[in-house]
A = this chain, B = another copy of it.
Amino acid sequence: MRMPGGQTVVLDRRSAILAGLFASFAAATARSDGGQSASAQQDPQHDMSLVERMPGAHGNETIVLVAYPGFTLLDLVGPQYMLANLLGATVHIAAKSLDPVHSDMGPALVPTTTFADCPTEVTLVMLPGGTSGTLAAMQDAGLLAFLRDRARHARWMASVCTGSLVLGAAGLLRGYRATSHWVARDLLADFGAMPVNERVVFDRDRVTGAGVTAGLDFGLSMVQKLRGREYAEAVQLLGEYDPAPPLHAGSLDEAPHETVAMLEQMLAGFVDKAKSIAAGATR
């Protein structure tokens, strides 16, 4: 349903929004690598002539994706894809130092800033999850201090997967509804949170996503929150986010019971360790 004569209005707004969207590639590239790369150049394949027609489609968010040794790469990169498409936003990858950070399955990502140099006034800080690397992060005083400090200034503190346990260990989920990877969700209660079985949970200035791939839904939800539905629809179409898993075992409801039981058994050590960290953290 459109307002009378609304189609033209919609088209104009979309034109500007979408032109802005593509300009964001170049902008994000230029900003987030600090100009260190030859790839940080305007993309001649993107017609950006319409951008100036609607400056309202631009933003100036400061987004911080936190990398720590042993993080799950997809937890970070799912949101990164969606958020880097925000025209005018600056997307940082923050870590202890500028050295490449190895993810839990090997590949290393290069940070763009350090905890020390990361801006203080931030829109969003997002923690990815992992397993043993995440347990270490939950006990990393420097990382926790960074999170507590930025939480005083951030519009949202967020996580994907077991990243919520790190937010919990920093004391940042007390009294909040929150979620996590299914294996860790109930553990959030140990950090004073109220575990919720939802894909993405918004509660005031906290946003938490479920396991790994929920980062895509978290990221797209944030884009919608920050720029509205039309912009987010364009990002979704650009990423052809029309998922079609070849199997149907992605949730506790759908997976075979034996698969659930075995994953629970395999991850029992992780859960136990996280519980003992919680006991220490809340003592």
Contacts and interface: CB of A to CB of B under 8 A. Distances in A.
A28 interface: yes
Interface string A223-235: 0100001101110
A108 B249 contact: no
What 9 pairs across the A-B complex have the smallest Cβ distances?
A211-B240, A242-B250, A32-B106, A233-B249, A84-B105, A243-B243, A18-B262, A242-B251, A74-B81
A270 interface: yes
A266 interface: yes
Interface in A155-184: 161, 181-182
Contact of A262 (B14, B80, B254, B265): B14
Contacts of A102: 29, 33, 37-40
A120 interface: no
A259 B14 contact: yes
Contact of A251 (B11, B40, B240, B269): B240
A220 B74 CA distance: 14
Interface stretch (A44-52, A145-153, A187-195): A44-52
Interface string A261-278: 011011111100100000
Contact of A263 (B43, B238, B263): B238
Contact of A246 (B21, B220, B234, B245): B220
Interface of A: 7, 10-11, 14-15, 18-19, 21-22, 25, 28-29, 31-33, 37-40, 43-47, 69-70, 72-74, 77-78, 80-81, 84-85, 91, 93, 100, 102, 104-110, 112, 131-133, 135, 161, 181-182, 199-200, 210-214, 216-217, 220-221, 224, 229-230, 232-234, 236-247, 249-252, 254-256, 258-260, 262-263, 265-270, 273
Contact of A80 (B107, B243, B249): B107
Given A45-B270, A132-B44, A237-B263, A38 B108 contact: no
A107 B106 contact: no
A106 B112 contact: yes
Which interface residue of A38, A107, A258 has the most chain B CB atoms within 10 A? A107
